[in-house]
Structure 1
Amino acid sequence: MTAFKLGFLTHVHGPGKDRATVLRDLLEVFTAAEELGFDGGWVAQHDVRGDYGRLPSPLVFFGAVAARTSRLRLGTAVTVLPLEDPVRLAEDAAVLDALSGGRLELGLGTGGANQEAFAVFGHDAARRRDLFDDRLATLRPALRGDRGRSRPR
């Protein structure tokens, strides 16, 4: 019989609070979750937002969480792959996974909730699925450590 796992997801709210306070509070949530016996914590990536979803860099945040916890799984729900450089994402994910003792769970998405961010990154939101496919084709071998990968279009 497989053991039941308990996790939580946050979109990182904090209206009226400065970013530093929101992130410190969120660190406390993740630390408390481990102490309470949760198995995993997930964060949603939202770029260029000042209200709803105030976490543009989940892997950086999880570096701080990994230093304060020892067994809590750390998951992205989701990392907006069309807005990421896939080789950089693979390298950052590998570093975090190593530092956390293999606790990273990398969730990927097309960024449907982040459509306003595409223009800021110089992309057309209507192409987000094509961008996702292109970057995934580079990310997969990069995560395996393959050296002969191609760059996204």
Structure 2
Amino acid sequence: MSRLLSWAVWGPLAASALLAGCGTLTQSSNQTLLVQAVLDYKPVDGVGCVLSNAAGRWFVMTPAKVTVKKAAGPLRVDCRKDGAASDELVGARQDRTLWGNYVFTAGLGNKLDRETGRGFDYPATLTVVLRQDAPDPRYAPPEGRVVY
């Protein structure tokens, strides 16, 4: 009887601990971000921004929210309006699943989270600082990648 009670108590706790350690199982692959732009310390509306990472590409006019697919790598934020521009890389940070991945899955959960991006988050608010004197380079798509 005591053995059955022991499994009834510790079984669900162990299962929840394992799931807490793996973002691939417990988290969404999408994240909603607020994108806003400033120029000379003043907010600017109607700035066109392209956000891209290894998982895809999204367009937004500031200020607005956009849902992106998460990735372990950085998010590139390229914004332009009337000669003002900004091109920034925003790093992804590993969330609360980091220690659970190593403790409960011996690092396997971390490998899965890196591949799916689910164990990583970008900052919830992206404030893009525009520069008036920024050059206007013409970016070509990466080789072998089709852009529609």
Asked if Structure 1 and Structure 2 have the same fold, meaning a TM-score greater than 0.5 normalized by the shorter chain, the answer is no
TM-score band by shorter chain is under 0.3
In our comparison, the structure showing a higher alpha carbon Rg is: 2
Higher helix share: 1
Higher strand share: 2
**Higher relative contact order (CA closer than 8 Å, sequence separation 6+):** 2
